[in-house]
Amino acid sequence: MDTGDASVAPDSVNVPFIITPLIFRIEPHTGQTLRIMYTGEALPNDRESIFLAKCTGYFS
């Protein structure tokens, strides 16, 4: 997950969510469910917050 700011390094992004599982294998013709959980950290009350979830596939 990240905030969409390209100038911030991925390892320094702080978002109030975790996604599980982090790494998984998908067999052909199947799918995978990801669980996005809110960690409870406070969000700004004076504006909306938008977060971006990215999924990357590596094929063998």
Q: Tens digit of pLDDT for each residue in 2-52?
A: 777 888 887 788 888 889 998 889 888 999 999 999 998 888 999 998 888
Instruction: Look at the chain and report how many structural domains it folds into.
Output: 1
What pLDDT sits at residue 38?
92
Cα–Cα distance, 55 to 59 (Å, whole number): 13
Range of the domain at 4: 1-60
What pLDDT sits at residue 46?
96
What pLDDT sits at residue 54?
79
Q: Is the pTM of this model over 0.85?
A: no
Q: Alpha-carbon torsion 52, 57, 32, 22, what sign? A: negative
Q: Alpha-carbon torsion 1, 56, 34, 24, what sign? A: negative
Length of the chain, in residues: 60
The residue ranking higher by pLDDT, 60 or 6, is 6
Q: Which DSSP letter does residue 29 get?
A: T
